């Protein structure tokens, strides 16, 4: 039996990275399937561009509602389009920062308690694949 | 019995606060018509004073509901005391009403209690209760409820320590030196002796209550359920 | 427009209540938590006294039949919109068909749902509150039922994307988590209670009994004896008044309290802490903290300043959005 063509494998890896796929499963009937998985290399290695959530306004950045036990999100957490990921506080008034798309939180770019200006970068989201 | 029902002891302060919301004025007076006439005359004057949102006559007392908390309540107390001293009983311009009562039965569950407590027969209780022309001293407690003066001292009984959860609309009750008619169903700490069939409150009317302090009422026994 | 899908207990329409009708025997009534009413309305740019839905400690489901801006305030009751969690004290816009569900209470006793412009029900004697005893006001003078529909005076309001909220004010903790402090001014008959009674008033943590509702909260605990037995003549009562009938444990008169009573009064909870009192529930305790008149006025000014600050920031945020649009 001949060795698999590594050039084909290289092309397959490149194709997967471009498409932002982590895993590829090829199946042709019962018993004939194969799954290829790329290692999870985090931010820079993923081919699909990250989206940066920019602040919709001004205020003090907080990842947690004052009476909530837990923060809205953490790194690696899935979010849905429109979901609240953080709050901006101006005195006693809170406005929400929403995720623009479905995806996974990859980085938190602002510090808890920092004073944030309009369009300051807050999060990096890896948008969900198609 | 008389020790419990003595006129207001002198130790109740004449002027006291209910938080920042209101003040209560409790002069040391007898429970009689001239005292209430003075109270009603004073209440007419106070309506224009600063920080006073509403003046609410009680039974020989007044509540001043603040529109906003006064800066100096002590000054208000002094001014009020002075105004009271200068106020004599004014004749009341009220209307007269005649109302029928069904005594006893389910509408008057405590008629026998009152008879027992006073040592009078039920018929005597009713005769004494319907004899006077009552004066409306105050409106309050619930919408349209009237506090009446003129109850014969022979019918004085203390309030019930454990109030009833609900007595029906129209319930005619006595307690202490007071008597009055419920304008709607609700709890009561008084002794209920009969039922009156009159609309005492209509939210669509101006003013919504039928009666005003100064009005007079004569009751007659339409029926007695034994 | 909204439809009530399910309601339990006395869910009623309330605004600030009746002013100027004590002389007709009409209690002030209105929202038990007036801070929640004020902030719920402020979040939507409503008039501060617009009518809201008051929800006691019970589940409630409402469906939005049209797109509508709304706010929740008061108790933290695990509110969700189509299953998605809402923060407490939050305003956002619902789309037609979405369902607001209030259920598991984490804190508090009364939640409020405000709608853009306020609930559209007739004003009776100058207020849109519900007078349960009198059977008037609000929606036909009664609690809301499954199937009821309610209109709001506006449908939309300018809100930031994702909504807008306010910081909940903390309760005054006194001792453990379940003991809430409220400030009290001694009342007329205070000195006529025994020294032991006065000491107990301030030192004990008073459990709120099950017999507690909009009319008043009965407290469990020892009787507070007076030095002399007395029969008082009927006199005015306002929300916050702490009565002691027959030398028993205290009763706190609240929103729907009778406007007159004859029981001795040992104190009055200050207006600024009535909202805190309202949010204490069965199983928790009240601790009375003595203040003087100046302290009570300062507390009220502080509360009003907080509401004014929230309103100003909310309004400027909404104006900036409206200009950018």
Give the chains touching A; criterion: ≥3 Cβ pairs < 8 Å.
Answer: C
- The pLDDT, as a whole number, for residue C171 is 65
pLDDT tens digits, residue range B146-157?
999 999 999 999
d(CA C243, CA C132): 22
Chain C residues within 8 angstroms (CB to CB) of chain A? 76, 84, 87-88, 107, 160-168, 306, 309-310, 313-314, 317
pLDDT band at C320 (very low <50, low <70, confident <90, very high): confident
So what's the pLDDT on residue A8?
83
Distance CA(C56)–CA(C73), nearest Å, equals 12
pLDDT at residue A44 greater than cutoff 60? no
Residues A103 and A128 sit within 8 Å (Cβ to Cβ): yes
Rounded mean pLDDT, C170-177: 66
pLDDT band at B159; cut points 50, 70, 90: confident
pLDDT at site B1: 37
- Find the CB nearest C88 among A67, A95, A96: A67
Q: Are C41 and C47 in contact (CB under 8 A)?
A: yes
Q: How confident is the model at residue C15 (pLDDT cuts 50, 70, 90)?
A: very high
- All chains having 3 or more CB pairs closer than 8 angstroms to chain B: C
Q: Tell me the longest C-alpha to C-alpha distance in chain A.
A: 72
Q: Is residue C218 over pLDDT 70?
A: yes
**Has residue A109 got a pLDDT over 80?**
yes
- Contact yes or no for A96 and C162 at CB 8 A: yes
pLDDT digits (tens, 9 = 90+) for C231-250: 789 999 999 999 998 878 99
Q: Average pLDDT in the C213-227 region?
A: 95
Distance of CA B209 to CAs B142, B203, B204, C24, C58, Å?
10, 8, 10, 6, 34
Distance from CA of B120 to the nearest CA of C (A): 22
Residue B134 sits at φ, ψ, to 5 deg, of: -85, 150
The model's confidence at residue A40, banded by pLDDT at 50, 70 and 90, is low
Whether the CB-CB separation of C41 and C82 falls below 8 Å is answered with no
Segment B97-106 mean pLDDT: 94
Query: Residue B105 maps to which CATH number?
Result: 2.40.100.10
Based on the domain organization, do B156 and B51 belong to the same domain?
Answer: no
Whichever domain contains B40, its CATH number is 3.30.1360.40
| CA-based R_g, chain B, Å | 18
pLDDT of residue B62: 97
Longest distance between any two alpha carbons in chain C, whole Å: 70
For an interface test with C, give the residue of B3, B20, B147 to mutate (most C CBs within 10 A): B20
At residue C174, the pLDDT reads 59
Question: What is the total count of domains within chain B?
Answer: 2
| Model confidence band, residue B3 (pLDDT cutoffs 50, 70, 90) | very low
Res. A106 pLDDT band, cuts 50 70 90: very high
Closest listed residue to residue B24, CA positions, set B36, B13, B40: B13
Least confident among B3-17, B163-177, C108-122, C183-197? B3-17
In the prediction, which pLDDT does B2 show? Answer: 37
Q: Are residues B141 and B201 in the same domain?
A: yes
Question: CB contact, 8 Å: A29 with chain C?
Answer: no
Which whole number is the average pLDDT over B114-118? 93
Residue B134 within any structural domain of the chain: yes
Contact C233 B176 (CB under 8 A): yes
- Asked if residue B1 belongs to a domain, the reply is no
- For residue A66, the chain C residue with the least C-alpha distance is C167
Nearest partner of C293 among B39, A117, B148, B17, judged by Cα = B17
Nearest chain B residue to C261 by CA distance is B141
Question: Residue B143: what pLDDT?
Answer: 96
The three-state secondary structure class of C97 is coil
Sort strands C2-7 and C149-150 into parallel, antiparallel or unpaired.
antiparallel
Chains A and C touch (3+ CB pairs under 8 A): yes
Mind telling me how many Å the CA of B45 is from chain C's nearest CA? 15
- For B26-57, how does the pLDDT look when each residue is reduced to its tens digit (9 = 90+)? 999 998 999 999 999 999 999 899 999 999 99
Confidence class for position A9, pLDDT limits 50, 70, 90: confident
Same domain, B102 and B179: yes
DSSP code at position C168? P
The answer to whether residue B121 sits within a structural domain is yes
User: Domain span at residue B122?
Assistant: 96-225
Together in a domain, B142 and B169: yes
| Same domain assignment for residues B100 and B62 | no
Secondary structure (3-state) at C3: strand
Q: Are residues B79 and B161 in the same domain?
A: no
In-domain check, residue B207: yes
Q: How far apart are the first and last CA of chain B?
A: 27
Alpha-carbon distance of A123 to A52, in angstroms, equals 6
Give backbone dihedrals phi and psi of C316, rounded to 5 degrees, phi first: -70, -35
Q: Is the pLDDT of residue B91 over 90?
A: no
Q: What is the pLDDT of residue B4?
A: 46
What pLDDT, in 10s, does the model give residues A17-28?
777 777 888 887
CA distance C89 to C279: 14
The pair phi, psi for residue A5, each rounded to 5°, is -75, 110
- Please indicate, yes or no, whether residues B40 and B122 belong to a single structural domain of this protein: no
- Distant-in-sequence, close-in-space partners of B225: CB < 8 Å, separation ≥ 6: B102, B103, B104, B105, B106, B107, B108
In B, minimum Cα distance to C122 occurs at B204
Give the mutation candidate from C162, C164, C311 for the A interface (greatest A CB count, under 10 A): C162
Our answer on whether B and C touch (3+ beta-carbon pairs < 8 Å) is yes
Q: Do C313 and A93 touch (CB under 8 A)?
A: yes
For A18, the 3-state DSSP assignment is helix
The whole-angstrom separation of Cα C252 and Cα C207 is 12
Which CATH code fits C172-291? 2.40.100.10
Average pLDDT across chain C, whole number: 94
Nearest to C134 among B5, B18, B203 (CB): B203
pLDDT at position B10: 45
Q: Are residues B173 and B119 in the same domain?
A: yes
Whether residue B138 and residue C261 make contact (CB cut-off 8 A), yes or no, is no
Query: A98 vs C161: CB contact, 8 Å cut-off?
Result: yes
Q: Which among B172, A88, B141 is positioned nearest to C237, based on CA atoms? A: B141
Predicted pLDDT of residue A16? 82
| Whether the Cβ atoms of residue C172 and residue C276 lie closer than 8 Å to each other | yes
* Residue B10 maps to a domain: no
**Is residue C4 a contact partner of residue C214, using CB atoms and an 8 Å limit?**
no
Alpha carbon of residue C99 to chain centroid: 24
Nearest Cα of chain A lies from the Cα of C169 at a distance, in angstroms, of 9
Average pLDDT of B59-88? 97
Q: How confident is the model at residue C14 (pLDDT cuts 50, 70, 90)?
A: very high
- Do B208 and C262 count as a contact with CB atoms less than 8 A apart? no
Q: How far is CA C314 from CA A95, C86, C115, C117, C305, in A?
A: 10, 18, 16, 15, 14
Do B113 and B162 belong together in one domain? Answer: yes
Q: Looking at C11-20, C144-153, C167-176, which range is the least confident one?
A: C167-176
| Chain C residues touching residue B57 (CB < 8 angstroms) | 23
- Strand, coil or helix: C294: helix
At residue A48, does pLDDT exceed 80?
no
Partner residue opposite C236 with nearest CB, options B24, B60, B208:
B24
Domain identity same for B110 and B209:
yes
User: What ipTM was predicted for this assembly?
Assistant: 0.94
Please list every residue in chain C whose beta carbon sits closer than 8 Å to the beta carbon of residue B147: 234, 260
Is residue B91 situated within a structural domain?
Answer: no
| Nearest to C275, CA basis, from C168, C176, C175, C177 | C168
Chains A, C: CB pairs < 8 Å:
60
Residues B122 and B216 occupy one common structural domain? yes
Contacts (Cβ under 8 Å, ≥6 apart) of C174 = C180, C181, C205, C287, C289
pLDDT at B199 over 50: yes
Among residues C65, C71, C68, C54, the alpha carbon closest in space to that of C138 is found at C54
**Confidence (pLDDT) at A42:** 54
Q: Give the model confidence (pLDDT) of C251-286 as tens digits.
A: 999 999 999 999 999 999 999 999 999 999 898 999
Helix (H, G, I), strand (E, B) or coil at A42: coil
Cross-chain residue pair C268–B11, CB shorter than 8 Å: no
Residues of chain C with CATH 2.40.100.10: 172-291
Q: Is the pLDDT of residue B9 over 90?
A: no
Measure in Å the smallest separation between the Cα of B141 and chain C Cα atoms. Answer: 4
- The average pLDDT across B197-223 equals 95
Asked if residue B207 and residue B103 are part of one domain, the reply reads yes
Q: Is A95 on the interface with C (CB under 8 A)?
A: yes
Span of A47-61, B44-58, C134-148 with lowest mean pLDDT = A47-61
List domains and CATH numbers for chain A: 6-37 (no CATH), 51-127 (2.40.50.100)
pLDDT score of A41 more than 90: no
For residues B189 and B186, give the distance between their C-alpha atoms in angstroms, rounded to a whole number: 10
Bond prior to C183 in cis (omega within 30° of 0): no
Task: Give chain B as a 3 state SS string.
Answer: CCCCCCCCCCCCCCEEEECCCEEEECCCCCCCHHHHHHHHHHHHHHCCCCCEEEEEECCCCEEEEECCCCCCHHHHHHHHHHHHHCCCCCCCCCCEEEEEEEEEHHHCCCHHHHHHHHCCCHHHHHHHHHCCCEEEEEECCCCCCEEEECCCHHHCECCCCCCEEEECCCEEEEEECEEEECCCCEEECCEEEEEECCCCECCCCCCCECCCCCCEEEEEEEEEEC
Nearest to C317 among A65, A68, A95 (CB): A95
């Amino acid at each position: 039996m001949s060795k698999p063509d590594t050039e084909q494998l290289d092309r397959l890896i490149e194709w997967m990275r471009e498409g932002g796929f982590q895993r590829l499963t090829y199946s042709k009937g019962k018993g004939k399937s194969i799954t290829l998985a790329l290692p999870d290399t985090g931010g820079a290695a993923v081919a699909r561009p990250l989206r940066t959530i920019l602040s919709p306004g001004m205020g003090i950045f907080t990842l947690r509602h004052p009476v909530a036990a837990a923060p809205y999100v953490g790194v690696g957490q899935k979010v849905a389009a429109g979901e609240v990921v953080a709050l901006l506080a101006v005195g006693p008034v809170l406005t929400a920062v929403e995720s623009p798309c479905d995806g996974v939180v990859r980085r938190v770019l602002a510090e808890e308690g920092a004073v944030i200006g309009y369009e300051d970068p807050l999060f990096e989201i890896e948008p969900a694949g198609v | 019995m008389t020790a419990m029902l003595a006129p207001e002891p002198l130790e109740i302060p004449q002027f006291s606060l209910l938080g920042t919301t209101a003040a209560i004025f409790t002069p040391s007076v007898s429970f009689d018509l001239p005292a209430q006439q003075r109270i009603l005359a004073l209440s007419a004057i106070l309506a224009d004073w600063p920080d006073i949102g509403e003046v609410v006559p009680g039974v020989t007392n007044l509540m001043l509901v603040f529109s906003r908390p006064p800066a100096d309540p002590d000054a208000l107390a002094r001014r009020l005391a002075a105004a009271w001293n200068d106020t004599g009983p004014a004749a009341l311009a009220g209307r007269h009403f005649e109302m029928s009562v069904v005594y006893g039965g389910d509408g008057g569950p405590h008629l026998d209690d009152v008879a027992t407590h006073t040592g009078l027969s039920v018929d005597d209780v009713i005769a004494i209760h319907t004899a006077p022309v009552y004066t409306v001293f105050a409106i309050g407690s619930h919408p349209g409820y009237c506090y009446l003066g003129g109850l014969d001292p022979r019918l004085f009984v203390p309030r019930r320590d454990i109030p009833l959860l609900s007595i029906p609309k129209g319930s005619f009750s006595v307690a202490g030196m007071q008597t009055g008619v419920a304008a709607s169903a609700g709890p009561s700490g008084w002794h209920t002796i009969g039922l009156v069939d009159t609309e005492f409150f209509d939210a669509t009317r101006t003013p919504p209550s039928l009666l005003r302090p100064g009005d007079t009422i004569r009751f007659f026994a339409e029926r007695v359920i034994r | 427009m909204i439809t009530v899908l399910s309601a339990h207990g006395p869910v009623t329409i309330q605004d600030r209540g009746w002013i100027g009708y004590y002389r007709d025997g009409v209690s002030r009534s209105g929202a038990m938590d007036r801070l929640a009413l004020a902030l719920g309305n402020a979040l939507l740019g409503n008039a501060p006294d617009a009518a809201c839905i008051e929800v006691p400690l019970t589940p409630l489901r409402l469906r939005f039949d049209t797109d509508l801006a709304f706010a929740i305030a008061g108790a933290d009751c695990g509110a969700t919109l189509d299953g998605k969690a809402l923060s407490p004290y939050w305003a956002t816009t619902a789309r037609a068909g979405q369902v607001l569900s209030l259920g598991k209470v984490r804190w508090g006793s009364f939640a409020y749902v405000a709608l853009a412009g306020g609930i559209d029900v007739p004003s009776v004697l100058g207020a849109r509150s519900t007078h349960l005893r009198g059977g008037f006001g609000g929606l036909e003078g009664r609690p809301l039922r499954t199937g009821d529909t309610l209109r709001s005076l506006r449908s939309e309001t300018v809100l930031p994307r994702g909504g807008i909220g306010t910081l909940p004010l903390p309760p005054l903790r006194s001792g453990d988590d379940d003991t809430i402090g409220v400030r009290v001014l001694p009342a007329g008959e205070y000195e006529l209670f025994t020294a032991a009674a006065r000491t107990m008033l301030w030192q004990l943590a008073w459990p709120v009994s099950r017999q507690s509702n909009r009319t008043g909260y009965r407290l469990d605990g020892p009787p507070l004896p007076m030095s002399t037995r007395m029969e008082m003549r009927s006199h005015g009562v306002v929300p916050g008044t702490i009565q002691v009938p027959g030398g028993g444990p205290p009763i706190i008169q609240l929103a729907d309290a009778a406007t007159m009573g004859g029981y001795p009064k040992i104190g009055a909870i200050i207006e600024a802490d009535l909202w805190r009192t309202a949010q204490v529930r069965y199983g928790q305790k009240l601790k009375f903290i003595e203040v003087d008149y100046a302290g009570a006025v300062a507390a009220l000014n502080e509360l009003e300043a907080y509401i004014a600050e929230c309103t100003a920031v909310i309004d400027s945020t909404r104006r900036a959005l409206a200009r950018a649009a």
